[in-house]
Amino acid sequence: MNSEHIVVNEASRMEECAGRTMRVDMSLLNTPGLDPDGDIRSPWDYAAVKTVLRKIALPCRDDGVKFTDTRRLDAIAACVGEKWRLWVDGNLCRIYAQDDFDPQVPAVVVSSHVDMVASRCYADCGDELWKGSFDNLITNAAVVACMGQSLFRPNVLVAFTGNEEEDSRGADEVVHSLRKKGVRIGFALATDVTDVGWNEGKHFTIENMFPDDGQSVADLLSRWLPFASDMDMRPKVVVEGECDEAWQYDEHDLKCCSVCLPCRGDMHSEEGVEVRPISVVIYTEALRRFANLSLR
């Protein structure tokens, strides 16, 4: 499908998208360095995510019904840290919760698909660019790095899902499993790579924004953008982009969006794609902030 791109910038307070007018209070972007966590650390450097990436650079596959190759999932389990426990061990999803997770409080679900199209799985972390089978290995690593350093709030659940490249049945299973446990999903935040924003040098994009009925896209942006201003004063926002798991969560009437890492190349090829190391660092911090902010 054709993506509808909205670039929110300092020069414009109103943007048009498919006949809809967005109004964003850009004065909110003038407050640098706001952090919704306050006392929670964000100690990112290249080594933090690279270490996880190298450990989990393994295949993961499914047949549309269940996982058939769980090597990446098994490696992830060894990296998530002592505070996390496997809460749902499903056919097409594994959902992790922290020890102090309260199922009576609405949860934010960080959903990161682990299935892949290419037969080759690798990660080559050079000085200038990293290259590898990064759809969706690279954002898996960012999520796991946050988990390992205990940087998500207690009511952030993390779901590693299958079948995203076909029918997103893993996302369906996440919703059904959590509702069966009586958990109310307050927000679903999907992670993925994107071909949007590379040429502009963007480190992350916000895509496929589906607010609830009582909230507009502009409201959601006005809430989020101040917490990204020190990372990107002109964030790339794609209100409706290429299909990813956010679309599937929207089918369940959930408030959701995707936070994506720009890359260069053919995502499904054997050669893989390139990402900028600094983008990986900034993307991981953006993911941490947005996941924690969504609980407020």
The pLDDT profile of the chain, 296 residues, written as one tens digit per residue, is: 333 333 333 323 223 333 333 333 333 323 333 344 443 344 456 688 999 999 999 999 999 999 999 999 999 999 999 999 999 999 999 999 999 999 999 999 999 999 999 999 999 999 899 999 999 999 999 999 999 999 999 999 999 999 999 999 999 999 999 999 999 999 999 999 999 999 999 999 999 999 876 678 888 888 888 888 888 888 899 999 999 999 999 999 999 999 999 999 999 999 999 999 999 999 999 999 999 987 65
Q: How many residues does the chain have?
A: 296
Q: How crowded is residue 270: how many other Cβ atoms within 10 Å of its Cβ?
A: 11
The region, left, alpha or beta by phi > 0 then psi within -120 to 50, assigned to residue 19 is left
User: Which two three-digit tokens encode residue 292?
Assistant: 């924690």
Q: In the prediction, which pLDDT does 280 show?
A: 94
User: Which two three-digit tokens encode residue 73?
Assistant: 């999932």
Tell me the C-alpha to C-alpha distance, in Å, between residue 10 and each of 208, 234, 235, 240.
Answer: 22, 7, 10, 22
Q: Tell me how far apart the alpha carbons of residues 211 and 138 are, in angstroms, rounded to a whole number.
A: 26
CATH class of 42-210+242-293: alpha beta
Q: In the prediction, which pLDDT does 296 show?
A: 59
Q: In the prediction, which pLDDT does 227 show?
A: 83
Q: In the prediction, which pLDDT does 291 show?
A: 95
Q: In the prediction, which pLDDT does 65 show?
A: 98
Q: In the prediction, which pLDDT does 32 show?
A: 33
Tell me the C-alpha to C-alpha distance, in Å, between residue 231 and each of 26, 53, 200, 282, 289.
Answer: 15, 23, 14, 7, 11
